Amino acid sequence: MKVGIFGGTFDPVHNLHLFIAEAVRRLEGLDRVLFVPANHQHYRPQPLASIEDRCAMVRAAIAGNDAFLFDDTDLRDDASGYTADLIPALRERHAGAAFTFIIGADSLVNSQWVRFDEVLESLDRFVIAPRAGIRPEAVERAIATVEGPLRERIRVLNLPELPESGTLLRSLLAQRQSVRYLVPEAVWTYIVAHELYGYDTSAL
């Protein structure tokens, strides 16, 4: 069983997340992609939406794809928020799986990874999706810090650099602008119904 691991705050989950997950699933021949929401972020601001709302949106977003699964391992009380601790916990739940970790280039370049070699040693593949605003040279410099055969486990995906991001969506919603068609329809419906991110329907 070949399993992708796609972690993040998903604040909110959007169409680019789904596009990347599906592209990696096909390019890497994965059987499943786990969407793993995080509750502890060491290098990013705290999410605006509650963990309950973020999980509900992820579940709604992936419901139409049988290869996408929701995984709450990183929400457990003992979860540290570090990838090096997450992967062994996932192995307990998915014994025998070959793991491919999926990450955006922005997260690789802009975050201070803890025990990065340990992360790579626990994976079969570590794949990086290009992100608008992140230069290829910056990604290459980050990869160059990895020594020896572990570097061979890293792959930069040949995908378009799309600008969509949670930051952009939250900014638009705070201005009471629509993000419909930038997020899955079920997620848009949820945001409107719960008036998340400052999207106040009564003021429209």
pLDDT at 43: 67
Q: Indicate the SS3 state at residue 193.
A: helix
Range from 57-61, 149-153, 165-169, 181-185 carrying the lowest mean pLDDT: 165-169
Mean pLDDT of 139-155: 92
pLDDT at 147: 84
**CATH class entry, domain 2-163:** alpha beta
CB distance 99 to 90 below 8 Å: yes
Q: Give residue-wise pLDDT tens across range 6-32.
A: 999 999 999 999 999 999 999 999 999
What are the boundaries of each domain within the chain?
A: 2-163
DSSP 112-127: --SSHHHHHHT-SEEE
State the greatest distance between any 2 C-alpha atoms of the chain, in Å, as a whole number: 58
Q: Whose CA is closest to 65, among 123, 103, 13? A: 13
Q: What is the pTM of this model?
A: 0.93
